[in-house]
Amino acid sequence: MNKNEIIERSYEYRKLLRVSALEMAKSTGKAGAHLGGSFSAVDIIATLYGGILNYRPEEPDWSGRDRFITSKRHCYLASYSALCLAGMISKEQLYSFHADGGELAGYPWIPELGIDFSGGSLGMGLSAGIGMAIIGKKRGQDYKVYVLLGDGECNEGSIWESFMSAAKFKLDNLIVIIDNNHLQFDGRDTDIMPMGSLEEKAVAFGFETVAANGHSIESLYDAFTVSHNDKPLAIIAETVKGFGLPSIEDKVESHHTVLKEDDYIAMMADIEGGRYDRV
């Protein structure tokens, strides 16, 4: 796909993923779901599945596929929706995410369904991605490894152990995306644990680093296509937690909550009204 086609498809995906994520959230009823982190990451995921990731829908565990690790698994409404949209899982499998004993309940590792990691215990995914990237290079395979981190997740010391090692192993096949929504479970990042500049940190750890608007397909596309010879790439994607859901947008309550009818209506109206269209 050329640039225009990828961007076109990513725009299509960002709308369809939103619809699907809303329906998934709705299906959880009073239990609620991780709306905040799903809607901060939804455009990142739309761009990845829209054409940045190399994958085969008919063969999700194809050995040449690009790996995608959702280390912050709080984006499952969007990432599972992407698997369904891309044709790697069925609708039935998608909705098993919130069924007792369901196939996708508990965020398991199932490469056969396009799920490359079991995220959730924060701070582990980047290390795993580094292991995959090392082996890819060693075997001369040209797949890339994409790892999605939350900014809150970057409080974990193990994240910085990983950052340290990625440059040592010269992993130019590794792309880290930080969903920088500035909110974590208990509050604003600056109140809970001020992290300073993630960009400067990534540079200091030997990454090629680029800032992006995490809700702009074009900006994300540009970031994903930055050249990073001999170095891993870090994309600091500025996002808004619960983006597009008026009652919880950029609010700490968005982390895990019940989807309000008004928010559902507002986002559906926005989708239909062209807010997420390409201009």
Partner 1 sequence: MIEYSPRNIRSWSIMGINPSVWSVGFAEVAEKKENVSVLTADLSRFSGLERCAAKYPDKFYNVGIAEQNMVGIAAGMAMEGVQAYITTYAPFVTYRCADQVRHLMGNMNLNIKAVGSSAGLTSGWSGTALLSINDIAFMRSIPNMTVLSPADCSEAIKMMTAMSEIDGPCYLRLCGTTAIPVVYKEDYEFRIGKAVTLQKGSKIALIATGVNIVDESLKAAKSYEEETGVKPTVVNLHTIKPLDRECIEALGDTHELIVTVEEHSIIGGMGSAVAEVLSQKRGAARQVFIGIKDENCKMGSRAFMLGQVGLCAEDIFRVIKSNI
Does residue 44 interact with partner 1 by CB under 8 A? no
Does residue 155 interact with partner 1 by CB under 8 A? no
Under 8 Å between Cβ of 51 and 3: no
Comparing CB distances to partner 1, the nearer of 57 and 131 is: 131
Does residue 164 interact with partner 1 by CB under 8 A? yes
Crossing angle (nearest 10°) for helices 217-224 and 35-47: 60
Does residue 157 interact with partner 1 by CB under 8 A? yes
* Candidate segments 31-39, 85-93, 112-120, 231-239, binder of partner 1 by CB under 8 A: 112-120
Contacts 24+ apart (CB under 8 A), 21-28: 21/77, 21/78, 21/81, 22/259, 22/264, 22/267, 22/268, 24/77, 24/80, 24/81, 24/94, 24/95, 24/97, 24/98, 25/77, 25/259, 26/259, 26/264, 27/95, 27/98, 28/98, 28/258, 28/259
Comparing CB distances to partner 1, the nearer of 169 and 264 is: 169
Does residue 135 interact with partner 1 by CB under 8 A? yes
Does residue 133 interact with partner 1 by CB under 8 A? yes
Q: Which of 118, 213, 216, 247 binds partner 1 (CB under 8 A)?
A: 118
Does residue 171 interact with partner 1 by CB under 8 A? no
Q: Which of 25, 53, 126, 233 binds partner 1 (CB under 8 A)?
A: 126
Does residue 95 interact with partner 1 by CB under 8 A? no
Residue 248 CA to residue 241 CA, distance in Å, equals: 8
Q: Which of 111, 218, 247, 252 binds partner 1 (CB under 8 A)?
A: 111
Does residue 248 interact with partner 1 by CB under 8 A? no
Least Å distance, CB 118 to partner 1, is 6
Alpha carbons within 13 angstroms on the beta-carbon side of residue 252 total 10
Does residue 102 interact with partner 1 by CB under 8 A? no
Q: Which of 52, 124, 217, 236 binds partner 1 (CB under 8 A)?
A: 124
Q: Residue 19: exposed, middle, or buried by beta-carbon count in 10 A (0-12, 13-18, 19+)? A: middle
Helix (H, G, I), strand (E, B) or coil at 201: helix
What is the pattern of x (binds partner 1, CB under 8 A) and - over residues 12-31? --------------------
Please name which of 73, 6, 74 lies closest in space to residue 46, comparing C-alpha atoms.
Answer: 6
